[in-house]
Structure 1
Amino acid sequence: MSPWVKDPHSGGVKIPPAVQERVKQRILNYAAANYAGKYTRLGIRFRSQFCYVDAYTEPDVPLDFPFKELRVSREEYLERRRNTPLHLCRLRYFSDEEAWTLGFYAYSSEKYEPCMFPNGSFYGTPEEAFAISSMYLE
């Protein structure tokens, strides 16, 4: 029988409502202080041990975009794009509000991929996770 090894990218603990509120506010405050103007709103949702962070942006659509071929008006297309989330990351909770693991959303595979923090660890804060995943907001 092989020894048990803690895997930072499996398992976790259901996030209590009080922690959900605190971490949501931490992410919103950090984003407002450091990335204001790069998104129109953030979507932060919780499911069991996960915290998902999405951003919504104002679409940059050229005037000569072929709306007619899509059979949609410019306004309808812009509204659809405004309401389509830009997935940033997924945080996994292990009972420590300062040590979450990060799943970085990879659009190439449409999956959350394990990611290390700049300190070389698999564990970091929600603010550090947002900073890493903010590359999609550039």
Structure 2
Amino acid sequence: MPTVPESTKTSLAQKLTARARTAWPKLAGPDIRYRGQFAYVDGELADGESIKLMRLRYGGSAGTWGFALYLASTDKYEDTILPTGSLAGTPEEALDCACGLYLTALGI
């Protein structure tokens, strides 16, 4: 189980912040915390509220991550297939999928 290197943490934060800025302007930014091989991503809304979005699984590549959505109904993360049909993809694809579901549902 590889842990996420510091350089990859920096890269991930930059990628998700840039994507949020361009594709999800109502999102004030991502908040990322790490535990082992996982990066947990919450979305900070303009009003200061924070919502859980997804969990990314690091597999040794900064460009491809496993993807799991946060399910409020169970308060757990569930491995999920991206719209591309894969269980892994770019951080930007994962953010688009999660925000497309959660921010659209909130009317943001």
Q: TM-score range by the shorter chain?
A: 0.7 to 0.9
SS of the aligned residue for 2:27 comes to coil
Tell me, yes or no, if structure 1 residue 137 matches structure 2 residue 108: no
Which residue pairs with 2:3 in the alignment? Answer: 14
Give, in angstroms, the shift of residue 88 of structure 1: 0.3
Distance 1:136 1:18, change over 3 A: same
- Structure-2 separation of matches of 1:51 and 1:95: 13
Bigger RCO of structures 1 and 2 (CA < 8 A, at least 6 apart) = 1
Which residue pairs with 2:40 in the alignment? Answer: 52
Kindly report which structure 2 residues correspond to 1:59-138, keeping only aligned pairs within 5 A, or say none.
82=48, 84-134=49-99, 135-138=101-104
* Residues 39, 55 of structure 2: 8 Å contact kept: yes
* Partner AA of 1:136 in structure 2: Y
Query: Greater strand percent: which structure?
Result: 2
Determine what percentage of the aligned residue pairs are the same residue: 33
Give, in angstroms, the shift of residue 116 of structure 1: 0.8
State the Cα deviation string for residues 44-91 of structure 1 (Å, max 9, x = none): 1222111111112245xxxxxxxxxxxxxxxxxxxxxx3x52000000
Higher-Rg member (1/2):
1
Distance 1:41 1:23, change over 3 A: closer
Q: TM-score, normalised by structure 2?
A: 0.87
Q: TM-score, normalised by structure 1?
A: 0.69
| Paired positions, count | 103
Structure 1 gap ranges (5+): 1-11, 60-81
- Structure-2 separation of matches of 1:30 and 1:106: 22
- Structure-2 separation of matches of 1:13 and 1:117: 22
State the Cα deviation string for residues 97-117 of structure 1 (Å, max 9, x = none): 222111100111110011011
The list of structure 1 runs, each at least 4 consecutive aligned residues, that deviate by more than 4 angstroms after superposition, is: none
The RMSD of aligned alpha carbons is 1.4
Structure 2 gap ranges (5+): none
- Structure-2 separation of matches of 1:95 and 1:29: 22
